[in-house]
Homo-oligomer: A and B are copies of this chain.
């Protein structure tokens, strides 16, 4: 999984039936200490929320078939999902 911050959301009326009623969140990847974007120039990525994450929260994001399998069918279009809200990151 990767660590990201939720920074917005997307509205899409015309979309795959598997995305109906789901929250599409704009996320920004962050460094291990939770600080700002790890890379300046990266394409925007949109993750489907599965844990009630809010804007500004630090979250765990899963990619690929892992993201899809989090949701019951229909779930076909999902390749990125928020799977946890991070309380703390401990570095040693």
Contacts and interface: CB of A to CB of B under 8 A. Distances in A.
Contact size class for A? Answer: 35 or more
Interface string A35-76: 000110111111100111001100010111111111000001
How many copies of this protein are present in the complex?
5
A86 B11 contact: yes
Contacts of A91: 7-8, 26
A10 to B, nearest CB: 5
Contacts of A87: 11-13
Given A83-B77, A84-B16, A45 B8 contact: no
A52 B16 CA distance: 11
22 contacts: A1-B46, A2-B44, A2-B45, A7-B91, A7-B92, A10-B60, A11-B87, A11-B89, A13-B85, A16-B50, A18-B83, A29-B44, A30-B44, A31-B43, A39-B41, A44-B89, A55-B92, A62-B77, A64-B65, A65-B68, A68-B69, A70-B77
